Amino acid sequence: MFGVIRIVAILVTVLILTGRAYAGESVSCAEKTVTFGCDADFNSKYLWKGIVINDKPVIQPTLWVSALDLTLSVFGNFIQENEASRGKFNEFDFILGYSRQFMNFTVEPSFEFYTFPNQDESPDTGMGILRVSYPAGPVNIFISHAADLVNYAPAGFSEAGCCADYAINDAVSASAMVYLGAGSSKFNETYIGLAKDAVNLAGINFSVTYNAAKYFSIQPHVEIISVMDGDLRNQISDPELNDSSADVSNIGINVSFEF
């Protein structure tokens, strides 16, 4: 309980401090804008923090609206084949995020609530997340920590890495990211079945974005993940315990509309 209170206090403190730091720079109401959009991400599988949630193709739509540095979004996972819930949504995520520049840092606290229709064995839960990034030459360095605040406290997962964007021309850009992910003992026990603090994985993401029209873009992307910890590799690869692999990849294409 005290861990949950501490994490919530940290998130609130970040919001207050970054808000005060930029209070003098606020613009008039007439200058503030609201943006909204929708995405449809077609993926060969569903990966979450290195864990294969669905090993067959899925469609993952997202609706979002953003204003005053706040973004509210709703994410869904739609099963296409080889699942008991084929042709249905088996997950919805409700996400409230905040982003603020503080000196040269970008500070992004958020809360994500997960609910799982058509999955009686998966209770609802939620995570508080804090992500901080900093530009270093041609790349951005980032760290993040996610802590379960609802059902699986004190499960936590941290990531650290760097990413870079490159504009090929006015319509096409490329992005790459490399990162490490580490899970707490409670996180790994809950989602993998082994109670151990570990550096879980190394991952690589690559994407190309084509801005086809003013409000429309297409983004093919690929993600490759390898589980680094030997005990976790054995746990994930054991056919009697998990129907998965310690080295996985996902290929997808995201179609996005933004207004």
Mean pLDDT, the chain, whole residue set: 89
Q: Tell me the CA distances in angstroms from 249 to 81, 117, 201, 224, 227, one per residue in order.
A: 18, 26, 13, 4, 12
Q: Which of 21-30, 163-172, 210-219, 226-235 has the lowest mean pLDDT?
A: 21-30
Per the model's pLDDT, the better-predicted residue between 175 and 2 turns out to be: 175
Q: What is the pLDDT of residues 86-97, one digit of tens each?
A: 889 999 999 999
State the pLDDT confidence band at 120, using cuts at 50, 70 and 90. Answer: confident
Pairing of strands 125-136, 105-115: antiparallel
46-77 pLDDT, tens per residue?
A: 999 999 999 999 999 999 999 999 999 999 99
CB 50 within 8 A of CB 203: yes
pLDDT band at 238 (very low <50, low <70, confident <90, very high): confident
pLDDT number for residue 27: 42
**What Cα–Cα distance (Å) separates residue 151 from each residue in 171, 179, 246?**
44, 27, 26
Instruction: Tell me if the domain spanning 2-23+31-258 has CATH number 3.40.50.10130.
Output: no
Closest CA to 11 of 135, 152, 144: 144
Instruction: Tell which wins on pLDDT, 246 or 114.
Output: 114
pLDDT tens digit string along 193-202? 999 999 999 9
Where are the chain's structural domains? Answer: 2-23+31-258
Query: 3-state class of 188 per DSSP?
Result: helix
In the chain, DSSP finds a helix count (H) and a strand count (E) of: 3, 15
- The pLDDT > 90 percentage for the chain reads 78
pTM of the predicted protein model: 0.85
Q: What is the pLDDT at residue 243?
A: 60
Q: CA triplet 82, 232, 49: central angle to 5 degrees?
A: 60
Q: How many residues does the chain have?
A: 259
Neighbours of 248 (CB within 10 A): 20
Euclidean distance between CA atoms 243 and 55, whole angstroms: 9
Mean pLDDT of 218-238: 95
- Residue 191 has which token pair? 């989602």
pLDDT given at position 86: 80
Per-residue pLDDT band for 3 (boundaries 50, 70, 90) equals: very low
User: Could you give the angle at the alpha carbon of 90 between the alpha carbons of 185 and 11, nearest 5°?
Assistant: 50
pLDDT bracket for residue 241 (50, 70, 90):
low
